[in-house]
Amino acid sequence: MAAPDVWVAKDDGTDIVRAGAIAAVGRDYNGNVTVRLSGGEQAVVTLVQDQTHDAAHTPSDFHLQLLRVIAELSDAAQPAIIRPIHDEQHGWWWLTERL
């Protein structure tokens, strides 16, 4: 049985990438969380722009948190989408939803 797809969305929902296509996860010099996609051109997608949310910087390990969530879902029975969420009470976190 093939593993179901896990997808990762940008914070504004404009882009969604397949987790299996992610070759690298990191933070750039501005604190943005980015992923580099595997394949020919190795496109970079910014998932969270750290400076766009009023003084609500992402945790320094937010990119590592994403890797943990993806790893936890690698054996999931259903397709899922992971998206970064921010609210004033809880700060930044990764929401996982079934598709």
Q: Stretch 34-51: mean pLDDT, rounded?
A: 86
Q: Stretch 32-40: mean pLDDT, rounded?
A: 89
Q: What is the pTM of this model?
A: 0.86
Tokens of 46: 């910014």
Q: What is the pLDDT of residues 48-91, one digit of tens each?
A: 987 665 657 888 899 999 999 999 887 777 899 999 998 888 88
Edge to edge, the sheet with strand 22-27 lists 22-27, 33-37, 44-48
Which burial class, exposed, middle or buried, applies to 31 when counting CB atoms under 10 A from its CB (0-12, 13-18, 19+)? middle
Do the Cβ atoms of 69 and 94 come closer than 8 Å? yes
List all residues 6 or more positions away from 72 whose beta carbon is below 8 Å from its beta carbon: none
Secondary structure of residue 64 in the 3-state scheme: helix
Tokens of 74: 């690698």
